[in-house]
A and B are shown apart, each in its own frame.
Chain A
Amino acid sequence: MSGPRRIMWAYLTTGIAVFGLMVLVGLAMRAEQAHWVSFDPGSFYALMTLHGSGMIVALALCGMGGLWFIMDREQPMNQGLAWAAYGLIVLGVVAVILSVFPGHFGAAWTFLFPLPFVGTTWPSWATGAFLIGVALVMAGWTIFCAQLLGCVLSRYGGLRGAMGWDLVFHHDAFLRSGRPEPPPAAFAALITAVDGLFAATGGMLVGVALIIHWLDPGVAIDPLWAKNLTYLFGHTFANLTIYMAIAFVYVALPRYAQREWHTSQVLAIAWWGTLLFVATAYFHHLYMDFVQPRGLQYIGEVASYLAAFPPAVVTIFGGALLVYRSRLRWTMSSMFLYAGLIGWLIGGVGALIDATVPVNVSLHNTLWVPAHFHTYLLEGVTLFIFGWIFADLEARTGAVSSALTRWIVGLGIFGGGAILLLGWYVAGAASVPRRYAEQPAPGPSIAAWASVGAILLIAGLIACLFEAVRLARTRSAEPAL
């Protein structure tokens, strides 16, 4: 296995391992809300913290590994730096796990200052371990983003070339010049790098302030300032897991459809929009903070709406167009990649509804929120990652899964997933609050049938894992991806 491929698989396997564990943690939480099992609220919130932070890092790791590999083929990157970023993130994950087991840290991954320092039931060292763990993850993320940025800038002639400026505004001259146009995946890389560095800056600012406050509680922090930076980091980082993974669709889906995904002027402009709107939509997390400057609330709603245009009009529409009347081979990979586009779109609709301020009044911090973010993370990003993994396995082995296997996996992951997600949407519409260890009615009864969906989903994931292992053990020719 080549060095870059080894790096990709280190990120992917670590991410998938963390993902698998966090799925089980998620099931435990939903089963507790359904009264199937019982544990104390402290344990519930510690698991909730672990689940949230673990899932985001798991998806990020997978996206990073795949995107690094894709861009390394465009312009080779320093492998030592990629390993350094990986090492820092793994260290960070270990620190976060220690903060929860045995530290019992349970402030949630996007806690709001001064929560982890006031009225807590866990020791101070656990708070420190969590803060340092997140800082390590951010340090690794920053290295990755900087490396990715360097890659696209040097490959495509600086920021102007990487953004496709001449492709858009001097189209004919650009085509005549014979310069390489950045492929669609390069736009995903550029926007991930720029917005990722922006988010990391915000995260580091508040993170360092929190660590200083942990060391010296006399140092004051403004709660509204901390809340803004927490969501700037959390929202943007979580969103970028989608935009990293969309590169997998750009690269792999055309192979199955036997068509090409070109960089058009519209695609370039769409990514410029994504660059701006991903970084400004986070204000919608503060709609219920009435002291927030009014103008930022308007920006929050407008940016949230506009953020939907590039995916809906360009990437998802482009994916559908790529598949329409094509010779697409339906395999595990192409099934996941295409289904992920659907999950992303449906989750986006749920998010847009929640991003409308007068509606947000009755949905904010209800279960509608985990409903929509689980839709595009679980049935979007995760499927893109699975699609990428199977694309590599199928290309390496030349083998494909049987239709029966695809049906079993699909029924579990899409069918079980739909039941699980529906539980959150229904409960959210019924005003059941999120992040409640013990929910008011009708929360527990909904959690019961949602837990059945979670079990079906896990069955599908296990079948998927067995199939991936089977393909991986099939000896074959040269890697084709």
Chain B
Amino acid sequence: MNGASPVLIGFLVAAAAILLVMAAIARTTTEPPETQAAVTSTGYRLRKGWLWALAAAAVVSLAISLPSFPYGKPATLAGQHFPVVASQYSFELPPAVPAGKNVVFDVTSKDVNHGFGIYDPRGHLVAQVQAMPDYVNHLPLRFTVTGHYVVRCLEYCGIAHAAMQGAFEVR
């Protein structure tokens, strides 16, 4: 199973719940009908609850996610910097980066937009940033697992996009 699997499971559970509820509502059309006024009166009360539940979920999700944005604080950007240059269809990468220390990839491109996607030794996408011409994106990271990391291009960049790969070691 992959690191993103909890996301998949969460999504599937939500999708199944939606299907069940909507199917149950559809089935009520076989029951004796109610007037629209009666349904609306109860429905509007339910809607208020539904609104507050969604609002609470959104606030919780924002509260958890906003502090975890990956853009780097001054402290993390003070780590050891490694330049990364992408071009059709290869990466110029450091051969190795240290584990357990703050590192920063300074990512740019010589030609078109590329994606700098880092896959850990188990093949899971653990970090990414765009490689853009005329700009340098700073990606702060701290590797805790040593091993062979594969880099794939994650922004469509031309005919050999799928073959654009690189690798580095974390020691």
Contact = CB atoms under 8 A, between A and B. Distances in A.
A305 B132 contact: no
Contact of A317 (B36, B50, B70): B50
Interface string A264-300: 0010000000000000000000001111001001100
A447 B9 CA distance: 20
Contact of B162 (A108, A120, A341, A438): A438
B147 to A, nearest CB: 16
Number of contact residues on B: which range applies?
Answer: 35 or more
A223 B127 CA distance: 22
B103 interface: no
Contacts, number: 219
Contacts of B68: 357-358
Interface in A291-321: 291, 294, 297-298, 301-302, 305-306, 308-309, 312-313, 317, 320-321
A435 B124 CA distance: 18
Contact of B18 (A309, A328, A345, A426): A345
B126 A313 contact: no
A425 to B, nearest CB: 6
B31 A325 contact: yes
A134 B104 CA distance: 39
B15 A346 contact: yes
A41 B70 contact: no
Nearest to A42: B159
A325 B29 contact: yes
B81 interface: no
B58 interface: yes
Nearest to A366: B125
Interface stretch (A110-118, A200-208, A387-395): A110-118
Interface of A: 41-42, 45, 106-108, 111-112, 114-115, 118-121, 222-224, 227, 259-260, 266, 288-291, 294, 297-298, 301-302, 305-306, 308-309, 312-313, 317, 320-321, 323-328, 330, 338, 341-342, 345-346, 349-350, 353, 356-359, 361-366, 368, 425-426, 428-431, 433, 435-441
7 contacts: A321-B43, A325-B28, A342-B18, A353-B7, A357-B65, A364-B128, A430-B2
Given A325-B33, A326-B29, A353-B11, 8 more contacts: A114-B111, A324-B39, A326-B39, A341-B22, A353-B10, A358-B65, A361-B128, A431-B2
Ranked nearest first, the 7 interchain pairs of A and B with the lowest CB-CB distance are A429-B8, A431-B125, A436-B162, A325-B34, A321-B43, A358-B68, A290-B137
